[in-house]
Structure 1
């Protein structure tokens, strides 16, 4: 009987959904298991074959866990707000909601064609008012607890999209969406005080099972450091404070640098003698992204401020002050002390602009041929610190600064507060009004959701405000506090908002009284296994952990961390080894693969292509190989006998495969699990037949990988009641996983001279005796004296001769 996937796969997809076999229950006596993938952004381009890699992997885990008797929640939804949809709507004069619905329908059809066992009854959409009502509710709680505030901030501004971009949306100085120039601009922005949680976001990584590289990325982004704040007086009577991790090098600080946006420049404007030069430099710096400004290899630029100097607090020497774009106002205090002898960037700047270079750590001068590390040397030219080690000097100078009221010990974080507002239409409205009398006032919770009004144009205004700013009937309202005239906030939330808590809504998606019931949250959270791309292991993971911790603090959720386990997958590249993209012409459409080879073949190949955690190129030859494996499984029906259990000759291979496939799934080793199944099917064909029990076990093992064909074989051959996906995962006997015989390598003086088949539990004496009795080994020894007999149990015998 020829295998034909056409029609078969759609049939089983329909039956699964009609019978609700993958619908999780909030009222079950089974142990729960919550598996989660990053819900997709439904773009107009649809899926390419790289996208389903994560979905298929966690689907395999989810299917296996159901077979193990768990109540599994494997949900799906749509991260549907965002700038790409809005840009498409502007270009094509169509409402973003229409675009979104069309894109979601396309994505849903593609995902369902792959047989992913999502619980479609819990489908969510971040653009649905019943969903973003609770996104707005969380924002109001953040506002009421002082964690959401408004301030003037220097932001990335896209000159074409006319909106604020996050740092990650700026690539090489241009907007990653449209490729237009990005400049720095000061705007009033809503901010979330994620910095309040910086230390906890580090400490609580000890509570979760994340790969070391993911934890490292989280810690690096937060950037905790210990040092000191140092106060530098100035000749104009003001004070500049710097943060430094190296207060021990204070005697070597020969100039200061402040950012071009530092507020002190405006205060000193009337006394700075070269203000025109300063203004020109500020304008040039505003056109650069933070990445460009801080790039280590770039040429150093700057302007010396004429008319003001700083005073080094350790020796009261006057030192020049420069502005330079490599110092950011958003990091630290926006000012640094420069120690050119021991910092390459400061040294390059000093060589160009002339400040002196004073070595204060012996052997740590960046330009010495014998340069080692300025963190391990001995202090010189440093007065009270001379002769001390760097660590000793740090302690002494910090104490001196504190006692003399010129500084203090300080723990600092690179992490900045989260710029949360966007000047665009297609996002969650921020439920705040501004009243001249009362200031910023939260909307009453009873008035949520605050829905998006219909607008004639989705383009930002010429002054860079949201399109909502033109909707005067919507903007003008009354103050919930005093009843006077007020204006609604016209900025909307970033796409990060809806994705920061979506996993909670899955637990109780139809609840209109809370984001989810306490019972559902206590049962399902934390997420047991969350998989996503490495590109989301900093910001998305950090933001969602922050929101979850806040909700934990206000007793909405029962756990301090949202995800117990996080894993990441490598990309599937084009056949040319490059990232898939339309511009490279190497995109493979999964619809084409499913149509030609079937969903089961595609699923198998996505998992067999290589190490799941590493990138791997697509291979047309590889997909054909997986199709042949599916056909070999299908053709087992041709050699099926009427009766029988697992035969003695296949007992060990079956038990070993059950063990390996089960363990490999849990350890993301899908490729080797499939290889084990391929090996077992070879053993079966070598035996010439297959019994019903053998086919039953093999079918259950294969089911998480190839669910459609296994359901069809199960049904056609009446291997059991109900469906395969409702069966029990087979158990293995550890004693039966051991081979009865093993291959022992025999060496003479370390060189392989033969191999012997021996009982698996062979002892040393028996193994050595058998080796010495073998004709090939005797010939290799050639009558020489055996000095030593070495036996590595189960592996080799080595005879050392002379």
Structure 2
């Protein structure tokens, strides 16, 4: 039997396929049924590995099967070329991100050809080409037009050594993945896409995915995280201010013995700015800023906090309860404030025990055995309400409904739906991305770039190494522009899009 020499045999057939243009498709051809086979576009930040090969070979097998079944198959290929992976590699190797990206594209194309994978290369795209990112910018403008792109202050991961913002995925155990420096949190103005506007639709449309694995759909539901509950108003004692707390367990409101704010909560900043904060509070807020959200999200830190020197009023009991700030409450979840019910929430129980705060049982277990002085942990189940005024004797489900109605009737709270899903932060203070098509005019404010002026080109003559600010800031010919509305001098947005 003749020896199999893959380099000779496979390259011969690959040339034949190319000569016959086997994988090139006339999309106007209506003589056959159409089939579109799209695999994820690779990041051209380095060469492909065996994991990529598995993905693309499976896609190629599907495309070939459909061709054999008589379909007109379009299998395109492109490059998800913008973003941090390519820029980080370019910094590491000391060359411009564009040069690095297109060198890798050539290497990856060679790999794909050598694997025998067939694509319609006439339809190749790269997201870093202006004729492509023009449409990324156009989509941004459409989202902005409909109130779905907006700018606000937000906490970001920041590496003080690399002097750059990091995505959550680039923070490993609270440290920068590139240099292992402890990551800090910074407040910066950032652009967001309002994906929360589609939370309910995303949930509902999971029902349409009949053939998706159930475990994947469960992951999606958990990511969206729908919660039905009540947003309760807690007045701050002796101030004309209200703190809003969302809870799914309004049946436990009579057991709320303190309120906890995230260290980033605006009211805490207000207290500090007014000069009313203790040194302990100031030190704690700074400590939490350095720890950052990521470690706190994991829930592995020992719970600690500080009394902020203020009291709230429990709207159902009329009693004054202390306001604390703690590391176990996050600004990104709900309103950044919680009502703490230590008898019926384990986190609150641990915190209350540590700081000697009152514990009050308001849900009795089926055995009727709960006593504050003998509890070794919170009872988080449902049961019969006790010590809850006119609502005592109701079961938890009945109480949620009746207390919710009472609160709405008395302007104490309102029933709402909340989601774990958060809006998508798209700003990056980095170079290698599509410029955000926005102009800042002293007279007109935020002005979107007119569609007929797209694309806003990414300049190439830029010092792209990270400094903590967008590298585009230093490119005067990019930054300085004219307001399209009033014709006066204006400045371009210098952040790029993480997409």
Length-normalised TM-score, structure 2: 0.94
- 2: distance between equivalents of 1:254 and 1:128? 58
Q: Does 1:420 align with 2:459?
A: no
Using the alignment, how far apart are the partners of 2:283 and 2:425 within structure 1? Answer: 27
Q: Which residue of 1 aligns with 2:214?
A: 212
- Give the deviation of 1:191 after TM superposition: 1.1
User: Does the 8 Å CA contact 1:89/1:96 hold for their aligned counterparts?
Assistant: yes
* C-alpha displacement of 1:320: 0.6
The structure 2 residue matched to 1:458, chosen from 442, 460, 464, is 464
Distance 1:329 1:97 in 2: 38
8 A Cα contact 1:363 1:374, kept in partner: no
- Show CA shifts across 1:499-521 (max 9, x none): xxxxxxxxxxxxxxxxxxxxxxx
Q: Contact (CA 8 Å) 2:345, 2:378: kept in 1 or not? A: no
Across the aligned residues of Structure 1 and Structure 2, the Cα RMSD in angstroms comes to 2.0
SS of 1:332's partner is coil
**Shift in alpha-carbon separation, 1:272–1:240, aligned structure 2, 3 A:** farther
Name the counterpart of 2:393. 387
Matching residue of 1:484: 488
SS in 2 for 1:315: coil
- Within a 5 Å distance, the mapping from 1:149-168 to structure 2 comes to 149-168=150-169
SS at match of 1:341: coil
**Alpha-carbon distance in 1 for matches of 2:133, 2:159:** 26
Contact 1:296 1:345 in 2 (8 A): no
Give the drift of 1:231. 0.2
Deviation by residue 1:556-595 (Cα, 9 ceiling, x = unmatched)? xxxxxxxxxxxxxxxxxxxxxxxxxxxxxxxxxxxxxxxx
Unmatched runs of 5 consecutive residues or more in structure 1:
498-802
Please tell me whether the aligned partners of residues 84 and 177 of structure 1 are also in contact (alpha carbons under 8 angstroms).
Answer: no
Per-residue CA deviation, residues 139-172 of structure 1 (Å, 9 max, x unaligned), is: 1111111111111111222223333233333221
Which digits, 9 at most, give the CA deviation of each residue in 1:388-444, with x for residues without a partner? 111111001101111111101010011111111100111111111100111111111
Is 1:443 the equivalent of 2:449? Answer: yes
Contact 2:439-2:491 at 8 Å conserved across structures: yes
CA-to-aligned-CA distance 1:481-532 (integer Å, 9 cap, x gap): 11111000100011xx2xxxxxxxxxxxxxxxxxxxxxxxxxxxxxxxxxxx
Report the CA distance shift for 1:205/1:380 in structure 2 as closer, same or farther (over 3 A).
Answer: same
Regions of 4+ moved over 6 Å: 364-373
The answer to whether residue 293 in structure 2 is matched with residue 287 in structure 1 is no
**Which position in structure 2 is the counterpart of 1:296?**
299
User: 1: distance between equivalents of 2:423 and 2:163?
Assistant: 22
Query: What is the aligned partner in structure 1 of residue 76 from structure 2?
Result: 75
State the partner residue of 1:344: 346
Post-superposition offset of 1:120: 2.0
Q: Does the Cα contact within 8 Å between 1:455 and 1:468 map onto a contact in 2?
A: no
Q: Is 2:260–2:339's contact at 8 Å kept on the other side of the alignment?
A: yes
User: How many angstroms apart in 2 are the aligned matches of 1:350 and 1:219?
Assistant: 32
Q: Return the match for 2:313 from 303, 311, 314.
A: 311
Q: CA deviation at 1:88?
A: 3.0
Report SS of the residue matched to 1:487: strand
Partner of 1:686: none
> CA distance change for structure 1 residues 172 and 271 in 2, over 3 Å: closer, same or farther?
same
1:475 aligns with 2:479: yes
Q: Could you tell me whether the CA contact under 8 Å between 1:474 and 1:488 is conserved in 2?
A: yes
Q: Which residue is equivalent to 1:35?
A: 37
In 1, Cα distance between equivalents of 2:166 and 2:202: 24
* Native 8 Å contact 1:422 1:491 kept in 2: yes
Question: TM-score scaled to structure 1, two decimals?
Answer: 0.59
From 431, 436, 440, the equivalent of 1:430 is 436
Q: Secondary structure of 1:37's partner? A: coil
CA offset at residue 271 of structure 1?
Answer: 6.8
Partner secondary structure for residue 286 of structure 1? helix
Give the C-alpha shift of residue 276 in structure 1: 1.4
Name the counterpart of 2:108: 107
Partner residue, 1:92: 93
Unaligned runs of 5+ in 2: none
Structure 1 position 273, deviation (Å): 5.5
For 1:370 and 1:274, locate their aligned partners in 2 and report how far apart those are by CA, in whole Å.
34
Q: Following the alignment from structure 1 to structure 2, what is the Cα–Cα distance between the partners of residues 417 and 405?
A: 29
Q: Displacement of 1:296 after TM fit? A: 2.9
How far is the alpha carbon of 1:136 from its aligned partner?
0.8
| Cα pair distance change 1:366/1:435, threshold 3 Å | farther
Whether 1:226 and 2:228 are equivalent positions in the alignment is yes
Deviations 1:42-84 (A, max 9, x none): 123x122122111111211111111111111222111111223
Q: Higher Cα Rg: structure 1 or 2?
A: 1
Contact 1:341 1:366 in 2 (8 A): no
Relative to structure 1, is the Cα distance of residues 366 and 283 closer, same or farther in structure 2, using a 3 angstrom cutoff?
farther
Contact 1:431–1:443 (CA under 8 A) maintained in structure 2: yes
